Chain A
Amino acid sequence: MTNLIKHIIMILKQDKLKIKLSSFLAYLGLVTVLLTVSCVNTKKKTYENTADIPVNREMVAELTAPPHVPTPVGKRLAKKLIVNMEILEKEGEMTDGVKYVYWTFGGSVPGSFIRTRVGDEVEFTLSNHPDNKLPHNIDLHAVTGPGGGATSSFVAPGHEKTFSFKTLNPGLYVYHCATAPVGMHIANGMYGLILVEPEGGLPPVDKEYYIMQGDFYTKGENGEPGLQAFDMNKAVDEDADYVVFNGSVNALTGDNAITAKVGETVRLFVGNGGPNLTSSFHVIGEIFDNVFVEGGDMINENVQTTSIPAGGAAIVEFRVDVPGTFILVDHAIFRAFNKGALGMLKVEGEDNKTIYSGVVQEGIYNPEGGGVQTMPDDGKAKQTVATTEKTLAEKMESGKQIYMQTCFACHQAEGQGIPNAFPPLAKSDYLNANVDRAIEIVLKGKTGEITVNGEKYNSVMTRQSISNDEIADVLTYVYNSWDNNKTNVTKAMVDRVKSGH
Chain B
Amino acid sequence: MKAVLRLTICILLFWVHPADCQSKMVKIKGGTYIPLYGRDSLKVTIVDFQMDVYPVTNKEFLEFVKANPKWQRSKVKKLFADKNYLKDWKSDTELGDQQSLKAPITNISWFAAKDYCECQGKRLATIDEWEYVAMSNETIPDARTLKSYNEFILGWYEKPKTFNNEIGSTFKNYWNVYDLHGLVWEWTLDFNSVLVSGESRKDVDNDTNLFCGSAAVGATDLMNYAAFMRYAIRGSLKAKYAMKNLGFRCVRDINE
- Write the residues of chain A forming the contact surface with B, with a CB cutoff of 8 angstroms: 89-91, 101, 130-135, 137, 147, 150-151, 154-159, 178-182, 184, 229-230, 232-233, 236-237
Query: Do B216 and A158 have beta carbons less than 8 Å apart?
Result: no
User: With an 8 A cutoff between CB atoms, is B154 at the interface?
Assistant: yes
B154, B198, B222, B229: the one contacting A154 at CB < 8 Å is B198
Q: How distant is B211 from chain A, measured CB to nearest CB, in Å?
A: 8
Residue tally, chain B, CB below 8 Å to A: 44
Known: A131-B160, A156-B233, A157-B243. A137 touches B199 (CB 8 A): yes
Query: Do B244 and A158 have beta carbons less than 8 Å apart?
Result: yes
Among residues of A, the one whose C-beta sits closest to the C-beta of B157 is A133
Contacts of B236 in A (CB 8 A): 135, 154-156
Query: Do A232 and B198 have beta carbons less than 8 Å apart?
Result: no
Contact with A along B163-197 (1 / 0, CB 8 A): 00000000000000000000001000000000011
Query: Do A236 and B221 have beta carbons less than 8 Å apart?
Result: yes
User: With an 8 A cutoff between CB atoms, is B202 at the interface?
Assistant: yes
Q: How distant is B221 from chain A, measured CB to nearest CB, in Å?
A: 7
Most A CB within 10 A of own CB, among B204, B233, B243: B243
User: With an 8 A cutoff between CB atoms, is B245 at the interface?
Assistant: yes
B199, B204, B216: the one contacting A150 at CB < 8 Å is B199
A134, A150, A157: the one contacting B157 at CB < 8 Å is A134
Most B CB within 10 A of own CB, among A89, A147, A156, A157: A156
Assembly CA distance A155 to B198 (angstroms): 9
Contacts of B237 in A (CB 8 A): 156
Among residues of A, the one whose C-beta sits closest to the C-beta of B217 is A236
Assembly CA distance A130 to B228 (angstroms): 20
B185, B203, B241, B243: the one contacting A180 at CB < 8 Å is B203
Query: Do B200 and A130 have beta carbons less than 8 Å apart?
Result: no
A158, A179, A233: the one contacting B232 at CB < 8 Å is A179
Query: Do B245 and A180 have beta carbons less than 8 Å apart?
Result: no
Contacts of B107 in A (CB 8 A): 158
A90, A133, A156, A232: the one contacting B241 at CB < 8 Å is A156
Known: A132-B245, A154-B236, A158-B241. A232 touches B217 (CB 8 A): yes
Assembly CA distance A155 to B82 (angstroms): 14
Most A CB within 10 A of own CB, among B228, B232, B242: B232
User: With an 8 A cutoff between CB atoms, is B155 at the interface?
Assistant: yes
Assembly CA distance A158 to B242 (angstroms): 8
Query: Do A134 and B198 have beta carbons less than 8 Å apart?
Result: no
Query: Do A158 and B158 have beta carbons less than 8 Å apart?
Result: no
Contacts of B211 in A (CB 8 A): 180-181
Q: How distant is A280 from chain B, measured CB to nearest CB, in Å?
A: 26
Query: Do A229 and B155 have beta carbons less than 8 Å apart?
Result: yes
Q: How distant is A128 from chain B, measured CB to nearest CB, in Å?
A: 9
User: With an 8 A cutoff between CB atoms, is B78 at the interface?
Assistant: no
Assembly CA distance A130 to B96 (angstroms): 16
Contacts of B43 in A (CB 8 A): none
Assembly CA distance A90 to B159 (angstroms): 9
Among residues of B, the one whose C-beta sits closest to the C-beta of A180 is B200
Contacts of B200 in A (CB 8 A): 178-182
Query: Do A137 and B154 have beta carbons less than 8 Å apart?
Result: no
Contact with A along B130-174 (1 / 0, CB 8 A): 000000000000000000000000111111110000000000000
Assembly CA distance A378 to B17 (angstroms): 92
Most A CB within 10 A of own CB, among B87, B157, B217, B228: B157
Assembly CA distance A178 to B232 (angstroms): 12
Assembly CA distance A182 to B204 (angstroms): 11
Q: Across chains A and B, which 6 residue pairs bring their CB atoms closest together, nearest first?
A: A154-B198, A135-B236, A180-B200, A236-B217, A156-B236, A101-B158
Query: Do A147 and B217 have beta carbons less than 8 Å apart?
Result: no
Query: Do B233 and A232 have beta carbons less than 8 Å apart?
Result: no
Q: How distant is A279 from chain B, measured CB to nearest CB, in Å?
A: 24
Query: Do A130 and B198 have beta carbons less than 8 Å apart?
Result: no
13 A-B residue pairs with Cβ-Cβ distance under 8 Å, sorted by A, are A101-B160, A131-B244, A132-B245, A147-B199, A147-B202, A151-B197, A155-B236, A157-B243, A158-B84, A158-B242, A181-B200, A181-B211, A237-B217
Contacts of A182 in B (CB 8 A): 200-201
Q: How distant is B203 from chain A, measured CB to nearest CB, in Å?
A: 6
Contacts of A131 in B (CB 8 A): 160-161, 244-245
Contacts of B154 in A (CB 8 A): 229-230, 232
Q: How distant is B37 from chain A, measured CB to nearest CB, in Å?
A: 11
Assembly CA distance A75 to B246 (angstroms): 48
Known: A101-B160, A135-B236, A157-B243. A181 touches B199 (CB 8 A): no
Besides A133-B233, A135-B198, A180-B211, 9 other CB < 8 A contacts? Answer: A134-B232, A150-B198, A156-B237, A157-B243, A180-B228, A181-B229, A182-B201, A232-B221, A237-B217
Assembly CA distance A418 to B32 (angstroms): 58
Contacts of B84 in A (CB 8 A): 130, 158-159
Q: How distant is B72 from chain A, measured CB to nearest CB, in Å?
A: 20
User: With an 8 A cutoff between CB atoms, is B235 at the interface?
Assistant: yes
Contacts of B210 in A (CB 8 A): 180
Among residues of B, the one whose C-beta sits closest to the C-beta of A150 is B199
Contacts of A158 in B (CB 8 A): 84, 107, 241-244
Assembly CA distance A90 to B155 (angstroms): 14
